[in-house]
Structure 1
Amino acid sequence: MNRNIALSDTAFVLHAVPYKETSLIVELFCRESGRLPVVAKGAKRPHSGLRAVLVSFQPIHVRFSGRSEVKTLMAAEWAGGLLAPTDKALFSAYYLNELLMQGLGREDAHPALFDSYAQALAALAVGEDMTQVVRRFEIELLQALGYGLTLDHDADGQPIRPDALYVWLNEVGWSHSDGLGVLPGDDAIVEHGVPGQVILDLQSGVLTRAAASVLKMVTRKMLAAHVAPNGVVSRSWMEQLIKA
């Protein structure tokens, strides 16, 4: 990134904390610049133009500059065109933010993941099934970070069979399951067999609610291994609300 000139980007606010008396340090997820911390000077003042713009789950156009790791936010304006999630879906959206905060390195751009995040927020806002939306985003995040599921063959290089059950083994891939539970060894990533048809459907872009539920333990343990080893606080809130 050129640190000597002001740069513009489209972004979402992931997190914000107070800084000094009147300012905020805001973690942005930018389409071209990745996860980026900025100082929003005066954003806490009652009449600041930034106060109403720096909110979660809304796309904004930003301009920032600086040579240090934490940039200075020079301008921000609402980009429009997206409803914010509400009610139970709001907690799912916070969960996505927490995954991005823990999983993304600073200034590591992922434009496709940015688009996936925007699509997930839009789906949550219009009431699409939270389990499906969240699971799809988890899978896309893991893929973007280089830990994606292999969807066309098993650990032995054989094609996935629709009538077989599989378990995911870390650093290995899909292995046949006898359906009786987890295989021995510390590299086992899921306790229950995943039907081959679910894997093949996912390869074709199809993720039903039933499949999303089946894949829950796979993505959870992959995220624990590669993204959030200390856990995700908002997950428990989200799951309780989905069950309610």
Structure 2
Amino acid sequence: MKRVNHEPGYVLHRYDWSESSVIVEVFTRAHGRMALVAKGAKRPSSNFRPVLLPLQPLVLSWGGDAEIRTLKSAEWGGGHVMPTGEALLSGYYANELLMRLMAREDAHTRLFDAYAALVHVLAAEKGETLHAAALRTFELLLLRETGHLPALDAQTLTFAPLEPDESYSLVAEGGLRSAHEGQGAWLPGRGWLALAEALDDEAPFTAVLGVCASLPGEQRASLRQQLREMLHYHCGGGILRTRQMMIDLQSLPS
């Protein structure tokens, strides 16, 4: 039986397996998304119960060669506590995107590092603006690492370079293309060029986060709309559960 020891990871989702056990979908740095059965995890005395929580850095060990491996140990990796409030919902949203867009056992070390950075920002209680910028950063890196993001320094169909003062829209079926202000979501060429340069930085999460946070309010909202539409398209349609939850909560009377 193949044994993997002391692998950094995060719980993305969990569901019942039997009266006493659960299956956890985890995102690990060197092995990608894995399905692990945590035997006895629902028992009051289980060491897994207080540890297998979402948005917490973990150190995992497992064994087996079946599609669903057997979790041997799980320890808290330290560093921060779980996000709360809207930041918690944002973390669940990121988890759902990973579940939808990542195949099992397909390693994405750079995406894992971006996810870890996102969770750290969400747990730090640094304000809605920074949390939103961190989400946009993660969405961009997720689209790039899964092969769904076109080059952001040229128009997709013509390969024509972007003009800093012209307007461009990112669309799921056509990539980056010329747009007209006031007609749908768009960003100026200089915004897309700044994002393209930041994505190629040695520390892409930090670099892209800086660009997203520095965009004017209207452009931040426009970028959010364009990325959400692209993610919705590549997730196969149907509203995300976490997105519907956010909508439902916002509709509640204050």
Q: Which residue of 2 aligns with 1:139?
A: 140
- Displacement of 1:22 after TM fit? 0.7
> Hey, what's the Cα distance between the residues in 2 that align with 1:166 and 1:43?
50
1:80 is aligned, of 44, 53, 78, to 78
Work out which of the residue numbers 100, 103, 106 in structure 2 matches 1:105.
103
Give the length in aligned residue pairs.
232
Say which of 212, 215, 220 aligns to 1:207.
212
Measure the CA separation in 2 of the matches of 1:236 and 1:165.
31
Q: Give RMSD over aligned pairs.
A: 2.1
Residues 67-124 of structure 1 deviation map (CA, whole Å, 9 limit, x = unaligned): 2111111111111113321122111011011111111101111111111001001111
How far, CA to CA, are the matches of 1:170 and 1:102 in structure 2? 16
Match of residue 5, structure 1, among 2, 5, 11: 2
Query: Aligned with 2:212: secondary structure?
Result: coil
Matched letter for residue 130 of structure 1: H
TM-score, normalising length from structure 2? Answer: 0.84
Q: Which segment drifts farther, 228-237 or 6-15?
A: 228-237
The one-letter code sitting in structure 2 at the alignment partner of 1:196 is: G
Query: 1:163–1:207: structure 2 CA closer, same or farther, 3 Å change rule?
Result: same
Q: For residue 233 of structure 1, report the CA deviation from its aligned partner.
A: 1.2
SS in 2 for 1:207: helix
Structure 2: tracts of 5 or more residues without a match:
199-210
Does the 8 Å contact 1:103/1:228 carry over to 2? no
1:198 alignment counterpart: 191
Unaligned runs of 5+ in 1: 182-190
CA distance in 2, matches of 1:173, 1:94: 27
Is the 8 Å Cα contact of residues 26 and 40 (structure 1) preserved in structure 2?
A: yes
Alignment of 1:151-162 (within 5 A): 151-155=152-156, 156-162=158-164
Shift of the alpha carbon at 1:239? Answer: 6.1
Among candidates 193, 209, 221, match of residue 229 of structure 2: 221
Separation in 2, partners of 1:180, 1:152:
22
Deviation at 1:179, TM superposition (A): 2.8
- Give the percent of matched residue pairs that are identical in Structure 1 and Structure 2: 37
Say whether the 8 Å CA contact 2:172–2:229 is kept in structure 1: no
> How far apart are residue 7 of structure 1 and its match?
0.8
Q: Which is richer in helix? A: 2
- TM-score, reference length from structure 1: 0.87
Question: Displacement of 1:174 after TM fit?
Answer: 1.9
Answering whether residue 31 of structure 2 is matched by residue 39 of structure 1, we say no
CA contact (8 A) 1:14 1:97 kept: yes
Contact kept in structure 1, 2:186 and 2:223, CA below 8 Å? no
Which AA in structure 2 matches 1:207? C
